[in-house]
Chains A and B, each alone.
Chain A
Amino acid sequence: MSHQLPPGFRLERKSNTEEFFINMGPQHPSTHGALRLTLRMDGETIVELVPHFGYIHRGMEKQAESMSYLQYIAMSDRQDYLTAIQNNLGVVIALEKGMNVGVPLRGEYIRVMLQELGRIASHLVFYGCFGGDLGGQTCLLFGFKEREMIHDILEEVTGSRLTTNFFRPGGSRYDVPDTFIPRVKAFLDHMEDTMKDYERFLSKNIIVLERSIGIGVLSKEDAIAYGCSGPVLRASGVNFDVRRANPYSIYDQFDFEVPVFQNGDCYDRYKIRIAEIHQSMKILRQCVEKFPEGPWRSKEKPVRLPVGRYYSEIETAKGLYATYVVAATTGEKPYRIHTRGPSFPHIAALNKMVQGHKISDLVTIMATLDPVIPEIDR
């Protein structure tokens, strides 16, 4: 029987039942933005999945070619908007490598603290979306409730809630205000209590366990082969965290663990993020204790990079975020900037994970991958 499949589908037809195709997105509540998935279904079971990207492709890399480096820092906010502050650092580190400027200790502490706050904020959104996508709307609000406290801190420090545009080569744009450390302390104390509630609410819930254990298993080999990173990779049993493997900033001075889980299913991906929130809080506690006085920025220099290629990688909340800057002439403008976002490979591996699962499981798996679509499409 000759049967023309829509583009992207590859599997041979196996069963004799009538298969049908469902189009999910680009406007669908659980695709986390403008992602479109086409599903090949056998009843409620997914046979194959093809993702379609590009609904929010904004041509950032093309635009970057006519922008100055500083302007590109502002542009990088709009990639992974859940942790814009981390994207800033990724770009800035690449620029620092080119300009060969260092950062004073206080500046590094500011960086690490904001990074970890951003990571907690992103994981809280994950907590909310995970619960929300499973059908518990209350979780969604719980996750966002604590996130607002972080955004208050970020707003006070950087001047904006989401698009921070804060770090500069050699430090950051401003020093932190005096209220910063007390606020972070208050936040940590509050968060400690709240996390207990939140974990009680979801972590042991039998329905959550039933819906996430053994669902969307990504084996260690597949996770590496597809280039997954961050919590998704670590949930599959690979101990890889850029903060440990290539410690940037001053992450080598802190005592924290990199949580690694072995099963690679949805529940492990959930647990690992909860564990990471605790680790981030641990780092923040150390920062609060040791926060140094002194200059927060090194001497301001015009942002001009010598000819060459500069590469930086950091660990954002989602995974490995790499920036590749090509400077063909010494000057303010790049020849080309390329960004490697962590979510892109995760969606590529999605097909591997959902095969044989139900459409409801797709929602769970999407939630635990925690993709940010504009970072994929750029």
Chain B
Amino acid sequence: MGIINLAPKILDPIPGGKYVVNAIDYVVNWARANSIWPLTYGTSCCAIEMMSSSMARYDIARFGSEVFRSSPRQADLFILAGTITRRMAPAIQMLWEQIPGPKYVIAMGACTISGGPFIYDNYSVVRGAQNLIPVDVFVPGCPPRPEALFHGLLTLREKILKETCRNPWHEGEPKDVSTMDRYREAAKTWAALEEMKDEQMAEARAKFKEENPDYKSTFKPIRVKKPDFPEVERVPFKRLGLTQQELFAKLRAKFPNVTVHTRGEDTPEDVVAKMPADCPLEVMLEKEDYLNVVEFVKNDPEFKMDYLIDVTAIDYDDHFDMVTMLRSLEIGHKIFLCVQLKKDFSIEEEKRPTSLLASIPTISHLYPGAEIKEREVYDMFGIKFENHPDLRRIFLDKDFVGYPLRKDFTHPEMIRRPI
């Protein structure tokens, strides 16, 4: 590309050289605009639509772009398909740097244009690819259909055709729009305008009121009629295995401290009896009992909870509720073990958001699948799992500050939801 940009300098002084330069321009631009090889890159939903666009029905090959290169060094076009997270951002920048010039970028879908559905209350998504790399064409949609992507490709083609040797392709600059809150900005500017308008209109309005004291608007909005639907009673789904009462009674016989969530005057037994058939039994445990109960329900022939559905937690003001969801594949019943973990308030208040506030023994030696689930809970809530073989952060970088699913979590780049 260096050589071709020298062409005007060399050829212009020669008589007729201008026409040669124009001819070169024409041929090279024609080639560049019609042979756009995209990079195989995709993170989420948009990637599937990008793939669809190269498949038989839509066939991006018609534009000569079916040559999806998996190495950035042979690509011309970077279709940013899918959300960009902060963790992925350096990889994207590196990929873009590795594409030899002239290179073009299409931001496909709402996520890469502005953050899309992940603008507000989000700590991990980059709000728009423009923050990282210069973007040439924006294709809105969530995800855009393949035709929309082709329209983006045609738009890019027109943009490339405008380049010449004298006005060659040059690397653009990323633009910082990361803190942009379009909703609040629009509301703010409008409020200012409205204030001005109020001042200007005050007189006219007063005059209007004087002239038409019993003015009534002729505009009557018509409500859309919604069709009438019948009330339908919900039929609980079929359930296999022991009933909740049996499960609860058996568990309680072994561990008397076990209860369930109760409200008001109900005894635990009443609550369990009232449960709909398809509602899994959720029992409350003491932290000390946790490991024993899990071991018991796993090995007991009547329970046989051999399958771990999930481990998760819920953050409350002074405690975490850690829920371990177990199921018996053979018998079919489910049981959820909820452990209340008191937060460790001996830690100074400033340090609390960034430090582990509770701990519980791991069950990964009983259920190997629990290992990653517990890592997730550790990552999101800052609950320590004792004796866990590999307690690292799983979704976030190891130097990420704070635990996002706690209610008091803050992040410098997080924008609160306006409504």
Question: Hey, which bits of chain A sit against chain B, CB under 8 A?
Answer: 7-8, 10, 26-29, 33-34, 53-59, 61-63, 65-66, 74-75, 77-78, 81-82, 96-97, 100-104, 125, 140-141, 144-145, 147-148, 151, 161-163, 170-171, 222, 224-228, 238, 240, 245-248, 252, 295, 297-300, 307, 309-311, 313, 320, 322, 324, 326, 335-336, 338, 340, 344-345, 348-349, 373-374, 377
Q: Are B45 and A62 in contact (CB under 8 A)?
A: no
Given contacts A311-B279, A311-B336, contact A224 B51 (CB under 8 A): no
B234 adjacent to A100 (CB under 8 Å): yes
Q: Which residues of A contact B389 (CB under 8 A)?
A: 10
Point out the residues of chain A lying under 8 angstroms from B332, CB to CB. 245-246
B231 and A298 form a contact (CB under 8 A): yes
Is the beta-carbon distance between B121 and A344 smaller than 8 angstroms? no
Residues of B contacting A320 in the complex (Cβ-Cβ under 8 angstroms): 309
| Stretch in B4-12, B285-293, B366-374 with 4+ CB within 8 Å of A | B366-374
Q: Are B229 and A56 in contact (CB under 8 A)?
A: no
Let me know if B87 is at the binding interface, CB within 8 A: yes
Interface residues in B394-412 (C-beta closer than 8 Å to A): 394-397, 404-405, 407, 409
Cα distance A226–B369 when bound, in Å?
4
Question: B66 CB to closest chain A CB, in angstroms?
Answer: 10
Instruction: Please tell me which one of the listed residues A102, A245, A299, A313 contacts residue B240 in the complex, with CB atoms under 8 A apart.
Output: A245
Q: Please state if A225 and B48 are interface contacts (CB–CB under 8 Å).
A: no
Contact B230 A298 (CB under 8 A): yes
- Check A26/B394 contact, CB under 8 A, given A59-B123, A59-B124, A311-B336: no
B130 interface contact, C-beta 8 A: no
- A222 and B307 CA atoms in complex are apart in Å by 11
**Chain B residues whose CB sits within 8 angstroms of the CB of A104 once the complex forms:** 229-230, 232
B91's partner among A27, A225, A311 (CB-CB below 8 A) is A27
Q: Is B237 an interface residue (CB 8 A)?
A: yes
Which chain B residues lie closer than 8 Å to A56 at the CB level? 43-44, 82-83, 85, 88
A297 near B229 (CB under 8 angstroms)?
Answer: yes
Q: Given A311-B336, A326-B314, answer yes or no on A161-B145 (Cβ-Cβ < 8 Å).
A: yes
B310 near A338: Cβ-Cβ < 8 Å: yes
The complex places the Cα of A66 from the Cα of B117 at a distance, in Å, of: 13
A57-B85, A226-B369, A311-B279 known; A33+B124 contact, CB < 8 A: no
Distance of A56 Cα from B45 Cα, bound (Å): 11
With a cutoff of 8 Å between Cβ atoms, the chain B residues found around residue A225 in the complex are 306, 367-369
Residue pair A324, B232 in contact (C-beta under 8 Å): no
User: Are A336's CB and B314's CB within 8 A?
Assistant: yes
Q: Give residues of chain B (292-307) contacting chain A, Cβ–Cβ below 8 Å.
A: 306-307
* Interface check B41, CB cutoff 8 A: yes
Q: In the assembly, what is the distance between CA of A224 and CA of B308, in Å?
A: 8
Chain A residue contacts of B42, Cβ below 8 A: 33
Interface range for B = 35 or more
Cα of A340 to Cα of B310 in the assembled complex, Å: 7
Contacts A311-B280, A377-B395 given; indicate if A224 touches B118 (C-beta within 8 A).
no
Q: Are B125 and A55 in contact (CB under 8 A)?
A: no
Interface residue B163 (Cβ < 8 Å from any Cβ of A): no
Q: A10 to B364, alpha carbons, bound, how many Å?
A: 15
Pair A66/B417 contact, Cβ less than 8 Å: yes
Which stretch, B13-21, B52-60, B200-208, B353-361, touches the partner chain A? B52-60
Q: Any chain A CB within 8 A of the CB of B343?
A: no
B392 at the interface (CB under 8 A from A): yes
In the complex, B122 has a CB within 8 A of chain A: yes
Q: Which of A55, A147, A324 contacts B87, CB < 8 Å?
A: A55
Chain A to chain B: the 7 pairs with minimum beta-carbon distance, closest first = A227-B369, A54-B395, A102-B232, A144-B55, A298-B232, A102-B234, A81-B45
Please measure, in the bound complex, the distance between the C-alpha atom of A310 and the C-alpha atom of B234, giving whole angstroms: 15
Most buried by A among B118, B230, B232: B232
The reply on B65 being an interface residue by CB < 8 A is no
Beta-carbon contacts under 8 Å, B57-80 to A = 57, 70
**Alpha-carbon separation in the docked complex, A54 to B91 (Å):** 13
Residues on B with C-beta less than 8 A from A245 are 240, 332
**Given contacts A298-B231, A348-B371, A54 and B394 within 8 Å (CB-CB):** yes
Q: Are A59 and B125 in contact (CB under 8 A)?
A: yes
9 A-B contacts (beta carbon < 8 Å): A26-B91, A29-B70, A34-B43, A56-B44, A65-B407, A144-B52, A147-B52, A324-B323, A377-B395
Interchain CB contact under 8 A, A57 and B87: yes
**How many angstroms between the C-alpha atoms of A377 and B85 in the bound complex?**
11
CB distance from A131 to the nearest CB of B (A): 13
B88/A26 in contact, CB under 8 A: yes
* Interchain CA distance A29-B228 in the complex, whole Å: 50
Interface hub of A55, A222, A310 (most chain B Cβ within 10 A): A55
Give Cα A34 to B323, complex, Å.
29
Decide yes or no whether B223 CB sits under 8 A from chain A. Answer: no
Cα of A97 to Cα of B21 in the assembled complex, Å: 72
With A162-B48, A225-B367, A246-B237 known as contacts, the answer to whether A57 contacts B124 (CB < 8 A) is: yes
- Indicate if the CB atoms of A299 and B323 lie closer than 8 Å: no
The answer, among A10, A65, A97, A322, for a CB contact under 8 Å with B309, is: A322
